[in-house]
Structure 1
Amino acid sequence: MEKNSINPWQWQNDRSYVQAVEVIHPSATLYISGQTAIDAHGKSSTGNMETQLIKAIQNLEKIVEEAGFECKNIVRLNIYTTSTDQFFSCFDIFQNWITRHNIQQASTVLEVKRLFETLKIELEATVIK
């Protein structure tokens, strides 16, 4: 598998994503449903955005690892949030996670009116091998 980032500009580098990802000859593709701050018993978090973002990242990592993939091979990551202001107030947590795993993903951030129950953030990913 070969992966190439396409960035005709430099400004997106400070925002922790790439404009496009080309994948050549992947051996497998994993499409992950939106991961949120739900615990192992199915209980939705009532915590703040920071707490929920951390838990959503942990849940996403768990799915990736259990499927035998690696976070560094996330090529698409959509972020749904009930408040972009709150999400960007703890964006450093997201950026540090991206940096730690050397992820170079195409991304879209969408503010939505509502997520399930008390949830504030949802991470939807595509990962390749």
Structure 2
Amino acid sequence: MDHQQINPWEWQDEFGYSQAIETKDGERVLYCAGQTSMDADGNPVHPDDMRAQTSKVIENIETVLADADFGLDDVVRIDCYTTDVDRLFENWDLITDRFEQPGCTLLGVERLAFPELLVEIKATAVR
């Protein structure tokens, strides 16, 4: 699958995302549900630790992708929801280090499904 980043400006590079991603010749699209900092039994983990939760979220995304024979490099879009945008930005390197500059939306929300959750990321992958 061929994909190209569309960035008419350069400022977004600092944040590790693209304004748009064009895909060509993609045969499969995977729409992942929002992933949070949950263990394999569905229990929230790492309360009040944004860094650990963000890392666990990415780990869970990677697990879902692998189960469908995709990888993080196939992700073309992420939607991030957080109860604390500033704290997520303090840990944004976890996202930019693992994803290859996908299209991205970041929203601050009052709360997520469980009160102890701080971040949720939904990914779309194309292969």
TM-score (norm 1): 0.92
What amino acid maps onto 2:42 in structure 1? G
Q: How does 1:48-63 map to 2 (within 5 A)?
A: 48-63=49-64
SS of the residue corresponding to residue 53 of structure 2 reads: helix
Partner of 2:104: 107
Aligned to 2:67: 66
Q: Encode CA deviations 1:72-112: one digit per residue, 9 max, x unaligned.
A: 110110100000011011112222223xxxx1310000000
Matched residue type, 2:49: N
Distance 2:108 2:83 in 1: 5
Question: What's 2:122 paired with?
Answer: 124
What are the equivalent positions in structure 2 for 1:84-103 lying under 5 Å apart?
Answer: 84-98=85-99, 103=100
Q: Please state how far the C-alpha of 1:14 moved relative to its aligned partner.
A: 1.0
* Structure 2 gap segments, 5+ residues each: none
Aligned residues: 125
Between 30-39 and 43-52, the greater mean CA deviation after superposition: 43-52
Please report how far the alpha carbon of residue 57 of structure 1 lies from its aligned counterpart in structure 2 after TM superposition.
Answer: 0.6
Q: Which runs of 5+ in 1 are unaligned?
A: none
SS at 2:51's partner residue? helix
Aligned-residue sequence identity (percent) comes to 36
* Equivalent pair of 1:72/1:104 in contact (CA under 8 Å): no
Runs of 4+ in 1 over 2 A off after TM superposition: none
The RMSD of aligned alpha carbons is: 1.0
How far apart are the structure 1 equivalents of 2:94 and 2:22?
26
Farther off after superposition, 37-46 or 89-98: 89-98
Q: 1:66: Cα distance to partner?
A: 1.0
Residues 36-75 of structure 1: CA distance to partner in whole angstroms, max 9, x if unpaired? 0000011012241111001001000000111101211101
The aligned counterpart of 2:14 is: 14
TM-score, normalised by the number of residues in structure 2: 0.94
Residues 75 and 126, structure 1, Cα contact 8 Å, conserved in 2: yes
Is this contact kept in 2: 1:29–1:128, CA < 8 A? yes
Contact preservation (8 Å) 2:2, 2:23 = yes
Letter in 1 for 2:121: L
